[in-house]
Amino acid sequence: MDIDLDYERPNVETIKCVVVGDNAVGKTRLICARACNATLTQYQLLATHVPTVWAIDQYRMCQEVLERSRDVVDEVSVSLRLWDTFGDHHKDRRFAYGRSDVVVLCFSTANPYSLRHVKSMWYPEIKHFCPRTPVILVGCQLDLRYADLDAVNRARRPLAKPIKPSDILCPEAGHEVAKELGIPYYETSVVAQFGIKDVFDNAIRAALISRRHLQFWKSHLKKVQRPLLQAPFLPPKPPPPIFNTVDTPGSRGRGPDALFRSPHCADVVFQLDDGQRVFAHKVYLATACSKFYDLFSLELSPFGAKRAGSRTHYEDPQRTTEADKQSMSLEVDQETSNNLLAGRASWPEHVPGKGRNGGCMHLGWGRSLSEWGRGFTSVRVGMIEDPLTQRERLMTVVEMEEQIQTEPLRVVLEYLYTGNLDQNRADLMQVANIAEALEVFDLRMMISNLMNKEGFMNQEITKAFHVRRANRIKECLSRGVFSDILFKVDDGTVHAHKPLLIANCDWMVALFCGSFRESFAQEVSLPGTSCSCLHTVLEYLYLGNFCLAPALDSVELLVLSNRLCLPHLQALTEQHAVDELLASYVQGEDIDGQVLHYLEMAQVRLLCLAWGETLHNAKQLADWCLHYICTNYNSVCRKFPREMKYMNPENKSHFERHRWPPVWYLKEEDRYLRCKREREKEEELIRKQNSKSKWCFWVSSASSPVP
């Protein structure tokens, strides 16, 4: 069958619909969406502009377009023929207007000039060429009303005029113009696929009603309704902000390798036979190697000492006389007193570095290691000058055997700090011998794999090394083993380890490596926090784990993480707080009050006597709270009117711009419901009038004659 037979089919009404309006308001996109069912993304619509290419020939060339032109509206079969036009004002469009059944007049909701031209140019032109043709006003590009205009302007084609927030037209502006002109008004969005069917179905109704007045004998047009009301478009709920919990490099202290090369707060020194010294930290060595853990956990006792050159030989404690002990004690006390007076020594004579039994380190105590293990000669506690601060303080001195060389020993110790090995070293065999002597079996096995061309097996060794170390660090944290600093908090004390803190926190680097009083103190006061909160922070710094105790308040952890300049921990805490709120929300609990509390704590400035004025800097949590309040604005306002009334001006401005549903939707919904009720009343009156006229010759059965 020829496609032109649509014009000759009985009871099929052919509707010529002409679409007019300014350039780039969305006429051609609207036609393509109806005729071709074309769906495009917002980026595709903004990055390209489709000029007027749609023509009536499309119905002859494309069978799909012809089939989609056929529709049924109010039980009337129609064939809709769409005519696109140029938006230039000086173009001649009289051919398009000829024999038109309905005109769709378009403007853009993001271009106020296109709406002004509706009254000044387009409507007079339509009435000039086709004065009796019904007109429908259509606001296109509805999606730009709730879109991110910054992103829209970046995605638009080059040289396109940027869209300003003041350019966005509310629905009231379109309704006012439509009421002034006496024509229906609809809105559409090709991106959201909203209003396309409404526009053209009601355009068909307007054309059929106009045709029914002229061709009153067509009975199938009697059921055609006048153009219906359009329900307002509810924009999609904005997605919640995405939390950025990526740890930024350079914000997590100096690292173990840098700490070994620059041994701040060193508490153990290895004395070699050639007079060289290697400084290190007990907690790093003990958690990486069982041999060093046992070494630093040995019970020490006072010994009589005989010095021979630079080395110290310890005698049996049973052979040490009481006079030797008193002489040694007096000598130590006198030396310590002199150093304290000169400012070269730290007070007191013993430090609370806990061993396995929780004992203290006493000056002058030691033990011979000649029969304890290979590579070691003796261990003692002595006053050693710190290589960085030039101050004498208590350290554990480990004297090594003659075969232990400086550079291979440094390689072994650096491996215990980092778990990494430089595979290109030339002295790997010497390193392997020392690792075997000191019972660092992981390193010995890695070097053996490298020699046997089996380096791929070292990955599993390294993985097991870090797992074992993490377990031992957790034990040191829970029991306070090898701790060298004591934090005093509001509800107690917490033992910690300076090396681990310096390696993982810049704030601790400044505290313990600077010229502050806390750098040489054994106790540091940390007010405004609790033991559980500080323990959570220490576990994060030591192990990189984030495990929040059930009884711990997220706000307290936010305050402490911000105070210690830990942005990654702060982001994790913010994410945890939001997850808790969402879990409560899913269970049906009311979280509006908690959200307001978090928003206040995330943005408020605190005045603390000990720490000065600080800002919590919980920006991501504040953004999420603002998003929640915006998307539940009416509910929050009903429950907390006072808090919302006295909200700071910046938040109020944010709510006005981003609240959902937006104000324009609420006004449009109210107008729609009001017009719907009015139309229902009108239809009810018409129905009653038709009912009376229909029964004007009705005679009741009671008055009829009885046969």
How many angstroms from the chain centroid is the CA of residue 314? 61
Instruction: Indicate whether 278 pLDDT > 90.
Output: yes
Mean pLDDT of 162-179: 93
**Per-residue confidence (pLDDT) for residue 686, from 0 to 100:** 82
Give the tokens for residue 55.
Answer: 């023509």
**Per-residue confidence (pLDDT) for residue 61, from 0 to 100:** 57
Question: Would you call 74 helix, strand, or coil by DSSP?
Answer: coil
d(C-alpha 169, C-alpha 653), whole Å:
19
Instruction: Indicate whether 352 pLDDT > 80.
Output: no
Higher pLDDT, 485 or 364: 485
Instruction: Judge whether 6 and 67 are in contact, CB under 8 Å.
Output: no
Instruction: Indicate whether 290 pLDDT > 50.
Output: yes
First-residue to last-residue Cα distance in the chain: 61
Instruction: Indicate whether 18 pLDDT > 50.
Output: yes
The half-sphere exposure of 277 on its side-chain side, counting CA atoms within 13 A, is 17
Instruction: Judge whether 398 and 281 are in contact, CB under 8 Å.
Output: no
Of how many residues is the chain composed?
707
CATH 3.30.710.10 maps onto the chain at: 256-476, 484-565
pTM of the model: 0.74
Between 92-101, 240-249, 313-322, 525-534, the lowest mean confidence (pLDDT) is in 313-322
228-242 pLDDT, tens per residue? 999 999 999 999 998
Rounded to the nearest 10°, the torsion over CA 669, 674, 675, 678 is 160
**Per-residue confidence (pLDDT) for residue 106, from 0 to 100:** 96
**DSSP label of 516:** S
Distant-in-sequence, close-in-space partners of 422: CB < 8 Å, separation ≥ 6: 411
**Per-residue confidence (pLDDT) for residue 329, from 0 to 100:** 34
Q: Does domain 484-565 have CATH number 3.40.47.10?
A: no
Mean pLDDT of 633-639: 92
Instruction: Indicate whether 7 pLDDT > 60.
Output: no
Q: Where are the alpha helices (DSSP H) in 244-382?
A: 256-261, 282-288, 290-296, 322-342
Give the tokens for residue 304.
Answer: 């009589």
Pick from 387, 435, 453, 413: nearest CA to 281:
413
Return the H-helix or E-strand segment holding 177.
helix 171-181
Which of the four pLDDT bands, split at 50, 70 and 90, describes residue 208? very high
515-558 pLDDT, tens per residue? 778 788 889 999 989 999 999 999 999 998 888 877 788 888 98
**Per-residue confidence (pLDDT) for residue 323, from 0 to 100:** 36
- pLDDT above 90 covers what percent of the chain? 44
458-495 pLDDT, tens per residue? 999 999 999 999 999 999 999 989 998 999 999 899 99
Relative orientation angle of helices 567-586 and 592-603, to the nearest 10 degrees: 170
Whether the bond into 661 is cis, omega within 30 of 0? yes
Q: Which CATH class is domain 256-476?
A: alpha beta
**Per-residue confidence (pLDDT) for residue 391, from 0 to 100:** 83
CATH 3.40.50.300 maps onto the chain at: 3-221
Pick from 393, 396, 370, 375: nearest CA to 383:
393
Instruction: Indicate whether 419 pLDDT > 60.
Output: yes
Higher pLDDT, 43 or 542: 542
570-588 pLDDT, tens per residue? 899 999 999 999 999 999 9
Higher pLDDT, 416 or 219: 416
Instruction: Judge whether 201 and 74 are in contact, CB under 8 Å.
Output: no
Which of the four pLDDT bands, split at 50, 70 and 90, describes residue 347? very low
Question: Would you call 201 helix, strand, or coil by DSSP?
Answer: helix
Relative orientation angle of helices 554-563 and 592-603, to the nearest 10 degrees: 10
Instruction: Indicate whether 559 pLDDT > 90.
Output: no
**Per-residue confidence (pLDDT) for residue 406, from 0 to 100:** 92
Pick from 13, 9, 12, 1: nearest CA to 63:
1
**Per-residue confidence (pLDDT) for residue 220, from 0 to 100:** 77
Whether the bond into 238 is cis, omega within 30 of 0? no
Instruction: Indicate whether 304 pLDDT > 80.
Output: no
Q: In this structure, how many other beta carbons lie within 10 angstroms of the beta carbon of residue 199?
A: 27
Taking all residues of the chain, what is their mean pLDDT, rounded to a whole number? 81
Between 58-72, 336-350, 354-368, the lowest mean confidence (pLDDT) is in 336-350
Mean pLDDT comparison of 92-96, 369-373, 418-422, highest-scoring range = 418-422
**Per-residue confidence (pLDDT) for residue 269, from 0 to 100:** 94
109-136 pLDDT, tens per residue? 999 999 999 999 999 999 999 999 999 9
**Per-residue confidence (pLDDT) for residue 285, from 0 to 100:** 94
**Per-residue confidence (pLDDT) for residue 605, from 0 to 100:** 46
- Bridge partner list, 398: 270, 379
d(C-alpha 508, C-alpha 504), whole Å:
8
Q: Does domain 3-221 have CATH number 3.40.50.300?
A: yes
